[in-house]
Chains A and B, each alone.
Chain A
Amino acid sequence: MNVRSNGPNFMQAAMNTKRNLVTAALVAPAAAWLCIFLVLPFIAMLVFAFGERAPEGGYQAAFTFAQFAKLPTRAAAFWNTLVLAPAGALLCLLVAYPVAYYLAVRANPRYRLILVSLVVVPFWTSLLVRTYAWMYILGSRGIPNLLAMIGIEDVRMLNTPGAVLLGIVYGYLPLMIMPIYVSLEKLDRRLLEASADLGARPVSTFFGVTLPLSLPGVMTGVALVTILLLGEYLIPQLLGGGKVFFIGNALVDLFLQSRNWPFGSAIAVTLVAVVVVVLMVAMRIAWKVAGTRQVDLV
């Protein structure tokens, strides 16, 4: 810009046009993608949500709020989702933080890359297969069988909310570890030394320096995992035995069994609204906690 600032005006205008064209060309694929696969389906969903179920199932045009009036019949599924999703995310956080701390601060830098990739390796196997493995570990022939050997009889693990929570923590742990690891890795070691020089014990250094500086990563991880969990279907289906029901499961049922597209759409729209609210609240808390620092939420 400054090079051309004293040149003729039309040249600058041409530069600007070119620059805008390049920007447009770079943004176009993502914009088109989002429009076709996010905005249009969402509009279709909104339209469906005010329609009626056709006699043989599916959708037929109408304008009614009847679908939204039926939302309370899925209260249990909303409740399960809104309780187990944040609970799962917090449990993930408790397990993930020490791991991320070790990887970023304590681990020998020579092995750090290997250790970090070990966190990611489970992603090479489908979550479906890994969740099936948990079905066998938690089933009668797994841990309950071992417990029976030491005299603790008749323990049931599979198809309980606890099993679902375990599956969630297992499945989503890497998504929590990585953002925390990244923010801890950027931590300036001199701050820790300064804290120690000024007489702080390691514990107060952790709570006064390390933890606050890693909060952006923590917030990113919690938001990421919570949002993904709000749409979770697979883990409750396999480890909950069709009894621990998330909104995702209710949606699958409505589209793939009852063929009630309008009601399914109404629930999906409501879920999107809930996710937006949760996200806004999370961001507000994040800003408050992190002060004026920018928080890189997803």
Chain B
Amino acid sequence: MTKWYRENAPITADKLADELMRLKRGSITRRHFLGVTGLGLATAVLARQPGLFNSTAFAGDLGTQMSIATWPNYHDPATFEAFTAATGVAVEVNVFGSNEEMLAKLQAGGTGWDLFVPTNYTISTYAKLGLIDELDLSKLPNYDASTETARFTNEGIVDGKTYAVPKNWGTTGIAVNSSKIKTPVTSWKEFFDVAMTEADGRAMVHDYQLTTIGNALVSLGFSFNSVKPDELAKAEELLIKVKPHLYAINSDYQPSMRATDAWMTMCWTNDGAQLNRDMPEIQFLLGKDGGEIWSDFYAIPKSAANKAAGYALLNYLMTPENAVKEHVANGAPTTDSRVLKLLPAEVTSNKIVYPDEAALTPLEFGAAVTLTDPGRAELMARFKSA
């Protein structure tokens, strides 16, 4: 296609006035306006001069909206509002209850997410399937790999390339409403026993193969990550036996626990901290027979439409000051020593959030094989439709 001869020439005063009116009428987007008038480029160039504009961190065109996929009760809404106020980019939040659901959406295509929160064991598969970008760390000046705890962050790096940077770490334990359930629950074995007796009709398990099958395996003395058919068959037998006694199969259990519809649930650290903060009778404990320890990451889908905004929000969330506010609100422990230093003592001394090392010893990180294992996927689907 040949170019119109004036295409690269500077915009005329008349044309600028025209485009400005179109923008004011709402006929064109801000993005289009900045593009055709050259103002976007000018702003970007000028913004590199320190002191000329204040919002240097967000130079360039971020558009007006972006979308993030994350987990229930995992962010402080104020964080996104502050980001929108600083950048003009509105953040749409999509909540998911399992990594498998996120993977399924990305495989099907057209998610519209610019940033999402996968868990440690999924990153290598996402990278292998080409569903996520290798991160351009130069766009994340607020991320500092040297202050991160390697134990929680190493799974974000695949073949020496950083595909994901850490959000929080945590555990999958048991939340019990102690004013309703008097039997002590200290292990996954007791969790399933009590679910069929004292907590009949009042216990919840996740709508998530990793933790629901994993904890059933642990209660039977097997590994959290087992994909052995005979062990999975025993876990299925247990789950099917428990199912009629359950209140619900749902990863968003906070509403039910708060309404005391449910008295006991599989529970992630951050939810445990939030529930215990607001309702002290709800206790959070780790299975002494095992369970999951996890770390969540931020990654950018290859299919993201607005990667610039994805990076901008990620960089914003990596700022220690912002991460501290998020931490205080959602209660998930940090992987970043810069954030740890800024935290108030009542957070760092909270045993739900930062348990003793000994309590973590029996826990296992999820293994990549569980994400794609057809046996586990089909077991979960059978359990739910039983």
Task: Report which A residues bind B (CB closer than 8 A).
Answer: 53, 55-58, 73-74, 76-77, 139-141, 156, 158-159, 241-243, 245, 249-250, 253-260
What residues of B have a CB within 8 angstroms of the CB of A258 in the complex?
A: 100, 374, 377-378, 380-381
- Chain B CB within 10 Å — which of A73, A76, A77, A242 has the most? A242
For window 43-101 of B, CB contacts with A under 8 Å fall at 98, 100-101
Flag B297-340 by CB within 8 Å of A: 1 or 0 each: 00000000000000000000000000000000000000000000
Stretch at the interface among B135-143, B245-253, B355-363: B245-253
What residues of B have a CB within 8 angstroms of the CB of A256 in the complex?
A: 100-101, 104-105
B316 to chain A, nearest CB (A): 30
Q: Are A159 and B377 in touch, CB under 8 angstroms?
A: no
Q: How large is the interface on B (under 10, 10 to 19, 20 to 34, 35 or more residues)?
A: 20 to 34
> Which chain B residue shows the least CB distance to A245?
B385
What residues of B have a CB within 8 angstroms of the CB of A139 in the complex?
A: 256, 259, 261
Q: Are B378 and A253 in touch, CB under 8 angstroms?
A: no
Q: Are B103 and A159 in touch, CB under 8 angstroms?
A: no
Q: Are A242 and B374 in touch, CB under 8 angstroms?
A: no
Partner of B248, one of A56, A57, A242, A259: A242
Q: Are A250 and B259 in touch, CB under 8 angstroms?
A: no
Partner of B207, one of A55, A242, A254: A242
Contact A76:B209 (CB < 8 A) given known A241-B250, A255-B104, A260-B381:
no
CA distance A51 to B4 in the complex (A): 51
Contact A73:B382 (CB < 8 A) given known A242-B248, A256-B101, A256-B105:
yes
What residues of B have a CB within 8 angstroms of the CB of A74 in the complex?
A: 385
Q: Are A260 and B377 in touch, CB under 8 angstroms?
A: yes
CA distance A259 to B103 in the complex (A): 9
B125 in contact (CB, < 8 A): yes
B183 in contact (CB, < 8 A): no
Q: Are B248 and A260 in touch, CB under 8 angstroms?
A: no
Contact A260:B247 (CB < 8 A) given known A77-B385, A139-B259:
no
CA distance A258 to B209 in the complex (A): 9
Closest 7 CB pairs of A and B: A241-B248, A242-B249, A258-B377, A77-B385, A140-B261, A250-B385, A256-B104
